[in-house]
Structure 1
Amino acid sequence: MTDWAEIHESVVRQFRVAWEEPEPHAWDGFLDDSVRFVQPLVRDGVGPALWWEEFARIQALLPDLRVEVLRWAGAGENVFVHIRFSATAGGRPLTWEAVDLLKLSPEGRLLFRESFFDPVLPATALLRRPRTWLRWWRSGVGPFTSRRRFLPPVSVS
């Protein structure tokens, strides 16, 4: 029988640690090869390589981005994690909250992540800070992802 409570605690601990020193591969310890992502402001898709590239873009825009786990709850294969993002943009603090739905395998691998937050909040803050515009454009993060074909590829080793 699967001990979901133990799996939940382990995954949330890994999730929290990965956000303490975030880099594209910080989540590799619990990402399944077929993990699917649904997330505002970055591409949805499948596989760790997608996460590595999208996180590298996020980090290019907000290099000091961190996440604080505020609370979480789990039931069976599902874990809901209430988080607070914080970063500096245009020399000023930027914060917003989200809830991530994580679907897990019985082995504690992440099969699916959907992040729920209103993308208008961080996007509006960035629009009001002209010092961020060039970095934002170059990162490829945001509503105009079609422009990526004009951007150099993100290298993630």
Structure 2
Amino acid sequence: MTDWRAAHERVVDNFRTGWDRPDPHAWDELMDPEMRFVQPMLRDGTGPEHWWRESARTLALLPDLRADVLSWAGSGENLFIHIRFTATLAGRPLSWEAVDLLRVTPEGVALFRESFFDSVPVATQVLSRPRSWLRWWRSGVGPFFARRRLLRPPPTHVHGGSS
């Protein structure tokens, strides 16, 4: 019988430790080589290399970014982690909350991460702080709306056959 609670606690501890000292490689022991990422304001993708690029872009924009785990709940392979992000942008505080859904193995390895948060207030804060625009542009995180649309892989359509 799988001890999912132990697996969840291991993942949450690794997740929390990574966000205490974020670096693109802070979560390496947590990630499966084929881990899939779906996240607002960043490019969706697969694998640690993808995460390393996207987190490096985010940290270039928000070098003091941290996240606190507020709560978590798990059931089998599904683990939900409620977090609060904090950072400084153009000399002023920036914060938002998110819920990350992770699909994990019994060994505590993450196979999938989807982050859920309302990106509009975050984007509005960036856009309302002109001192942040150059850093934002150089980071590769923006422009938010065009980047999300243009860099998302084209949808694949499944065409059903007729019988």
Same fold (TM over 0.5): yes
Confirm whether residue 101 of structure 1 aligns to residue 101 of structure 2.
Answer: yes
Aligned partner of residue 49 in structure 1, secondary structure = helix
The ranges of structure 1 where at least 4 consecutive aligned residues each deviate by more than 4 angstroms after the TM superposition are none
CA contact (8 A) 2:72 2:81 kept: yes
Alignment of 1:6-155 (within 5 A): 6-141=6-141, 142-145=144-147, 146=150
Aligned-pair distance for 1:55?
0.2
Aligned partner of residue 14 in structure 1, secondary structure = helix
Give distance in 2, aligned partners of 1:17 and 1:143. Answer: 31
Give distance in 2, aligned partners of 1:54 and 1:125. Answer: 20
What TM-score do you get using the length of structure 1 for normalisation?
0.91
Give distance in 2, aligned partners of 1:4 and 1:65. Answer: 30
Aligned-pair distance for 1:38?
0.2
Which structure: larger Rg? 2
Aligned-pair distance for 1:140?
1.1
CA contact (8 A) 2:7 2:105 kept: no
Give distance in 1, aligned partners of 2:35 and 2:77. Answer: 14
Give distance in 1, aligned partners of 2:57 and 2:140. Answer: 6
What letter is aligned with 1:5? Answer: R
Q: Percent identity?
A: 63
Aligned-pair distance for 1:144?
3.3
Aligned-pair distance for 1:30?
1.0
Give distance in 1, aligned partners of 2:67 and 2:146. Answer: 24
